[in-house]
Amino acid sequence: MTLAVLRAAPRAESQQKGVDAQGHAWWQHAVFYEIYPRSFADSNNDGVGDLKGITSKLDYLKELGVNAIWITPCFPSPQVDFGYDVSDYEAIDPMYGTMEDFDKLVAEGKQRDIRVILDFVVNHTSDQHKWFIDSKSSKTAEHRDWYIWRDGKGPGQPPNNWLSTFGLSAWKLDPKTGQYYYHYFYPEQPDLNWRNPAVEKAMLDVTRFWYKRGVAGFRLDAVDTLYEDPNLTDNPVLPGKDKFGRPNMNEKYNKKLPEVHDAMRKLRTTADEYGSVLIGETWTSNVEQLKDYYGTKNDELQMPMDLMMTGFKGLSADEYRKHIAAVNAAGHWPVYVITNHDIVRSYTRYADGAHNDDIAKMMAALYLTLRGSAIMYYGEEIGMENNDPKSKDDVQDPIGKLGWPLEKGRDGERTPMQWNHTANAGFSVAKPWLPVPTSASTHNVADEMKDPDSVLSFYRKLLALRHTEAALLDGDYVSLNEENPNVLTYVRRYKGEAILVILNMSAAVQKVRFDLSPAGFVEPKMEVLLTSFHKQLKGMFMELPMEPYSVFIAKITK
């Protein structure tokens, strides 16, 4: 049995169309890495991460196999929603550094073939943005109609029953003009009025500003909520209560309105002028909805995120198999995401207490060997776990304060990156803005680099395979052994060769037969590329004994 992980030179791109020999654009083969800038690396030791900190870690990211970083908002902001309340779209928050630091980051990234993606908060601004300050000043202000202002239904009554996803009503009364403004998120995040052409123009200009500075694309925040029903029809009330104790609602009139797609097309036209990529924060309940975000003419988002796996309960090979089949049948380039800064970390979500690292490796092998572009979340590669606040007083995220204890907020998944096992996990000399979990003593970059069996070492090998194996980059997907409810088996097949992936999604040993004939390999030759087995395999097998939650990846030739 041979274990070989090779690194090859990057594939040549055609200068003309920005696509490679297989017709793929750079982002289709890229590995994206989401960085929460407050928590990645703190260069000035004030307890909060910054841009210089990110620049100092580019070599680490390069070595890991990252091709693009998506930085969550680093623009000036009162930080009510930790940057998702932007008060100036065309500057850098001094807490994170200067525009010079940003330009340096882009330039240093370029030297390492790492592109920079920014986070564009399209749905709302901060209430401290100059547009909103003017809008609020009088009913006749130049920017009045840049936001959604309405009279109440009656004294003390908001215009309708819409609720903010962050608790309470979605309307806030402004005593000065006696009207209410609409905010789907915090009251400090008033919704922009995308029906106003001046808003649309200003927002498209923001994207141009950054494209000209070398940004390779945007992750578009909260696209579902860009438009609202102009008649402000009440949403239907559903049975039951949400985690804030309010009635459940069908958000029929303030989410996923068809006009969203017009805005996506316009953003795409501008992105295309600069050869840039648009990634969408697209929460969907099924593949049909996701399909819409690519655009009927492939003229909307190149990368609408498929966040559906984050909602799967437990690990069922059947559930994953069906979902992957549906995504493939839809015919677009997939973007599977298993975790981010708004949801409990994947490590914690899947952990069973006995096989935590094995499960982390298994999930990595799943989403990094499937067709499509990959988006990682910082720390996932070292098996970082959630570190939720222990009491309400410790909470930083306002929704955690409002919804405690049912809703603890999102602090737990946003803690400092664990670089080593020294104080504060090597993130900062100062007390970090959020505490590191005790597991940082074992799950950190420095120690895991030295351990060939660590989660990090597994990620590094896996990403190296993903970048070098043509079948993982361009191969089709053939599902095998479909009757097995515990083991997900598939091949990625390309020009007479294939990569076989076997994932045991259960806590028991599973024996797996090798029948690759449905994929066209009758008497195949097999070279093992990567496993997460604890015991070395010896000899020949009719049936492969897959350890609990293990991974087996092999190269198949005829």
Binding site for ligand NOJ (CB under 6 A): 81, 84, 121, 185, 221-222, 281, 341-342
Q: Which residue is nearest to ligand NOJ, using beta carbons? A: 84
β-bridge pairing 476-480 and 149-150: unpaired
Catalytic residue among 221, 300, 413, 474: 221
Q: How far is the CB of 530 from ligand NOJ (least distance, A)?
A: 32
Closer residue to ligand NOJ in complex, CB, 50/397? 397
Alpha-carbon dihedral 545, 547, 549, 554, rounded to 10 degrees: -50
- Paired with 163 in beta bridges are 169
- Least distance from C-beta 124 to ligand NOJ, angstroms? 7
Q: Give the nearer residue to ligand NOJ in terms of CB position, either 50 or 85.
A: 85
The Cα–Cα gap between 3 and 228 comes to 55
For the bound state, the minimum distance from the C-beta of residue 113 to ligand NOJ, rounded and expressed in Å, comes to 27
Tokens of 398: 């306002």
**Tally of residues, the chain:** 558
Q: Give least dist CB 212 to ligand NOJ, A.
A: 25
For residue 480, the surrounding DSSP H or E stretch is strand 476-480
Minimum CB distance to ligand NOJ smaller for 50 or for 281 = 281
Q: Which of 463, 472, 509, 468 is nearest to 490 (CA)?
A: 472
> What is the nearest approach in angstroms of ligand NOJ to the Cβ of residue 35?
13
Task: Please report how many Cα atoms fall inside a 13 Å half-sphere around the Cα of residue 530, on the Cβ side.
Answer: 25
d(CA 121, CA 188): 14
Is residue 546 within 8 A of residue 504, CB to CB? The reply is yes
Left (φ > 0), alpha (ψ -120 to 50) or beta: where does 513 sit? Answer: beta
Active site residue 407: no
| For ligand NOJ, the closer CB: 257 or 478 | 257
Closest CA to 428 of 170, 113, 45, 4: 45
CB atoms within 10 A of CB 528: 16
Cα gap 4→282, rounded to integer Å: 37
19, 33, 326 from 381: Cα distances, Å: 29, 10, 27
* The one-letter amino acid at 483: E
Tell me the H-state helices in 274-310: 287-292
C-beta separation of 524 from 541 below 8 A: no
3-state secondary structure at position 71: strand
Shortest Cβ 187–ligand NOJ spacing (Å):
13
Of the candidates 59, 63, 151, 273, the residue annotated as catalytic is 273
Q: How far is the CB of 240 from ligand NOJ (least distance, A)?
A: 24
Cβ closer to ligand NOJ: 144 or 410?
410
What are residue 64's phi and psi, to 5 degrees?
-70, -30
Q: How many CA atoms lie within 13 A of 438 on its CB side?
A: 0
Pairing of strands 487-494, 115-121: unpaired
To ligand NOJ, the closest distance from the beta carbon of 123 in angstroms equals 7
| CA distance linking residue 53 with residue 62, whole number of Å | 15
Complex with ligand NOJ: residue 305 or 471, whichever CB lies closer: 305
Q: Shortest CA distance to 491 belongs to which of 506, 505, 475?
A: 475
Q: For residues 221 and 306, which CB has a smaller minimum distance to ligand NOJ in the complex?
A: 221
- Would you say 414 or 467 has its CB closer to ligand NOJ? 414
How far apart are CB 75 and ligand NOJ at their closest, in Å?
A: 12
CB-wise, 28 or 282, nearer to ligand NOJ? 282
Q: Pick the closer one to ligand NOJ by CB: 65 or 409.
A: 409
**Does residue 273 have an active-site annotation?**
yes
Kindly list the distances between the CA atom of residue 125 and the CA atoms of 129, 220, 294, in Å, as whole numbers in the listed order: 6, 13, 25
Q: How far is the CB of 293 from ligand NOJ (least distance, A)?
A: 15
How far is Cα 8 from Cα 4, in angstroms, rounded to an integer? 13
Sign of CA dihedral 330, 335, 336, 342: negative
Choose among 306, 262, 82, 285: nearest CA to 185: 82
Of 190, 23, 18, the residue nearest 121 (C-alpha) = 190
Residues with catalytic function: 221, 273
